[in-house]
């Protein structure tokens, strides 16, 4: 539906609303679906998708230096007062070509450059991004200590980690200053391994959780999944994803809807992160998050595969 006062802008009034959540002890109250901007590499797509997301009620935006042109494009998308409408998160430590540097000096220069690119005076959160060795970022005088100092200086409000290793999740939580864990690929229709490790530990320590890659890096989007490539095929994930896709195809069910709502129903104090490249992808994610699914579909899906929202 087009906006009544602007024929080039859609009117989202009257659409379903995303649930308001909390994010652990941070005090942030984001909507259940966050906007991951890794795939936003042009100004036009970023501005369009970010403004669309905010119009739909999404109020949590995530980016990183590692994501190519994303920070610059997101900064443009948040100009003109849009920054004030969202919680803004970036990362530090991982850069182009998977170059990593968790020294204090690089951490500070990285965050300062992100502040410049994103045209903001502070971040609501900065995550330590995928350190290959835990000590690289958490040793005395390294990235964590520098982020604590920058937090004391008002440049960021909360510190977190964005990585896959469950053991690193545990060790990060045990340091004390970590408020947020971004975990990916391990809470999906085909893999719920994080449910028995990080998630209960996070609940015990009042840590906010961000579930990313809930569509299995393409395996659960609705396209026929590959069983040959991608991290999602680990432990048979690709084979299982294909079986789920075929089950949904035979019943005219959109597997993306099931995958999204499965993630949103996770027992976490936190949110799900979607990663659209443009407005169309964003609208598809929003539809998946808010569409009504017949309870009988979930009952039958659980009988076949053992999981349900």
| Residue 6 confidence (pLDDT) | 43
Contacts of 132 (CB under 8 A, 6+ apart): 100
Mean pLDDT of 83-96: 98
Q: Does residue 305 register a pLDDT over 80?
A: yes
Beta strands in the chain (DSSP E): 33-36, 60-62, 87-92, 125-129, 159-162, 178-184, 208-212, 270-274
Residues 211, 217, 222, 226: what is their CA dihedral angle, to the nearest 10 degrees? -140
Q: Which of these ranges, 25-39, 225-239, 267-281, has the smallest mean pLDDT?
A: 225-239
Q: State the chain's mean pLDDT as an integer.
A: 94
Other C-beta atoms lying within 10 Å of the C-beta of residue 250: 8
φ, ψ for residue 272, nearest 5 deg: -105, 140
| Residue 13 confidence (pLDDT) | 65
| Residue 1 confidence (pLDDT) | 40
| Residue 232 confidence (pLDDT) | 43
Contacts of 182 (CB under 8 A, 6+ apart): 62, 127, 160, 161, 162, 163, 209, 210, 212, 273
Higher pLDDT among residues 237 and 31, named by residue: 31
φ, ψ for residue 89, nearest 5 deg: -125, 135
| Residue 226 confidence (pLDDT) | 81
- Report the share of the chain in percent with pLDDT over 90: 90
Residue 80 three-state SS = coil
Q: Does residue 134 register a pLDDT over 90?
A: yes
Mean pLDDT of 17-27: 97
Tens digit of each residue's pLDDT (9 = 90 or more) over 238-264? 899 999 999 999 999 999 999 999 999
Q: Does residue 196 register a pLDDT over 50?
A: yes
| Residue 10 confidence (pLDDT) | 72
Task: From 268, 263, 265, 288, select the one nearest 213 (Cα to Cα).
Answer: 263
- Report the share of the chain in percent with pLDDT over 70: 93
Q: How far apart are CA 208 and CA 39, in angstroms?
A: 24
Tens digit of each residue's pLDDT (9 = 90 or more) over 271-298? 999 999 999 999 999 999 999 999 999 9
Mean pLDDT of 91-107: 97
Confidence grade of residue 15 (pLDDT, cut at 50, 70, 90): confident
Other C-beta atoms lying within 10 Å of the C-beta of residue 26: 21
Mean pLDDT of 174-197: 97
| Residue 16 confidence (pLDDT) | 84
Q: Which of these ranges, 12-21, 95-104, 179-188, 191-200, has the smallest mean pLDDT?
A: 12-21
Contacts of 84 (CB under 8 A, 6+ apart): none
| Residue 228 confidence (pLDDT) | 65
Q: Does residue 191 register a pLDDT over 80?
A: yes
| Residue 14 confidence (pLDDT) | 64
Q: Does residue 235 register a pLDDT over 70?
A: no
* Domains assigned to the chain: 30-305 (3.20.20.100)
| Residue 66 confidence (pLDDT) | 98
φ, ψ for residue 127, nearest 5 deg: -105, 140
Burial of 66 (0-12, 13-18, 19+ CB in 10 A): buried
């Amino acid at each position: 539906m087009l906006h009544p006062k602007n024929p080039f802008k859609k009117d989202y009034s009257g659409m379903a609303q995303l649930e308001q959540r909390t994010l652990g002890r941070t005090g942030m109250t984001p909507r259940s679906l966050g906007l991951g901007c890794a795939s936003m590499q042009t100004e036009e797509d970023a501005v369009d998708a970010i403004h669309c997301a905010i119009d739909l009620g999404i109020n949590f935006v995530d980016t990183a230096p590692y994501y190519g042109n994303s920070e610059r494009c997101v900064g443009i998308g948040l100009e003109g007062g849009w920054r004030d409408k969202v919680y803004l998160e970036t990362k530090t430590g991982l850069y182009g070509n998977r170059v990593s540097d968790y020294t204090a000096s690089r951490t500070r220069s990285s965050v300062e450059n992100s502040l410049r690119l994103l045209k903001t005076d502070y971040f609501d959160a900065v995550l330590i991004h995928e350190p290959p060795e835990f000590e690289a970022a958490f040793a005395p005088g390294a990235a964590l200590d520098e982020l604590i100092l920058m937090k004391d200086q008002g440049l960021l409000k909360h510190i977190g980690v964005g990585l896959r290793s469950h053991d690193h999740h545990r060790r990060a939580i045990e340091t004390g200053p970590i408020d947020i864990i971004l975990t990916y690929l391990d809470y999906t229709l085909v893999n719920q391994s994080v449910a028995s490790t990080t998630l209960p530990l996070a609940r015990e320590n009042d840590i906010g959780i961000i579930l990313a890659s809930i569509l299995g890096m393409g395996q659960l989007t609705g396209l026929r999944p590959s069983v040959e490539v991608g991290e999602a095929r680990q432990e048979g994930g690709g084979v299982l994803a294909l079986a789920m896709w075929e089950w949904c195809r035979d019943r005219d069910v959109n597997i993306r809807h099931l995958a999204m709502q499965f993630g949103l129903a996770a027992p976490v104090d936190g949110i799900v992160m979607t990663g659209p490249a443009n407005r169309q992808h964003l609208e598809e994610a929003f539809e998946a998050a808010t569409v009504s699914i017949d309870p009988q579909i979930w009952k039958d899906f659980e009988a076949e595969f053992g999981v349900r929202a």
